[in-house]
Amino acid sequence: MAPPPPEFELDSSLGDDLARVAQQLSAAGHVVALTGAGLSVESGIPPFRGPGGLWTKYGEPPMDGYRRFLEDPAAAWRERLSPRAEWALALRDTLAAAEPNAGHRALAEFERIGLLGCVITQNIDDLHAQAGSSNLLEIHGNHRLLRCLECVRRFEPDAIAIDPDDLPPRCPDCGGPVKGDTVQFGEPIPPDVLRRCYAEVERSDCMLVIGTSATVYPAADFPMEVLRRGGCVIEINPTDTDFTASATESLRGPAGALLSRLLDLSKSEAGAAA
> What residues line the site for ligand NAD (CB under 6 A)?
36-42, 45, 47-49, 122-125, 140, 211-213, 216, 237-239, 241, 254-255
Partners of 34 in the beta sheet? 120, 209
C-beta of residue 250 within 8 angstroms of C-beta of residue 235: yes
CA neighbor of 21 nearest in space, from 273, 261, 272, 274? 261
Q: How far is it, in rounded angstroms, from Cα 122 to Cα 227?
A: 20
Question: Minimum distance between the CB of residue 143 and ligand NAD, rounded to whole angstroms?
Answer: 7
Residue nearest ligand NAD, Cβ-based: 38
User: Among the candidate windows 65-73, 112-120, 170-178, 257-265, which touches Zn ion by CB under 5 A?
Assistant: 170-178
**Quick one: 167 or 247, whose CB is closer to ligand NAD?**
247
In this structure, are residues 22 and 266 in contact, taking their beta carbons and an 8 Å threshold?
Answer: yes
H helical segments located in the chain: 12-27, 54-58, 65-71, 73-81, 86-97, 102-112, 127-131, 191-203, 221-228, 255-273
Using CB distances below 5 to 8 A depending on partner kind, what does residue 151 bind out of ligand NAD, Zn ion, none? Zn ion
The least CB distance from residue 198 to Zn ion, in Å, is: 23
* 143 counts as catalytic: no
In the chain, the N- to C-terminal Cα span, in Å, equals: 21
155 binds, among ligand NAD, Zn ion, none (CB under 5 to 8 A by kind): none
Alpha helices in 82-181 (DSSP H): 86-97, 102-112, 127-131
146 binds Zn ion (CB under 5 A): no
Candidate list 148, 201, 210, 257; residue touching Zn ion; CB under 5 A: 148
Tell me which of Zn ion, ligand NAD, none is bound by residue 173, counting a contact when its beta carbon lies within the kind-specific cut-off of 5 to 8 angstroms: Zn ion
**Residues making contact with Zn ion (CB under 5 A):** 148, 150-151, 171, 173-174, 176
Residues with catalytic roles: 140
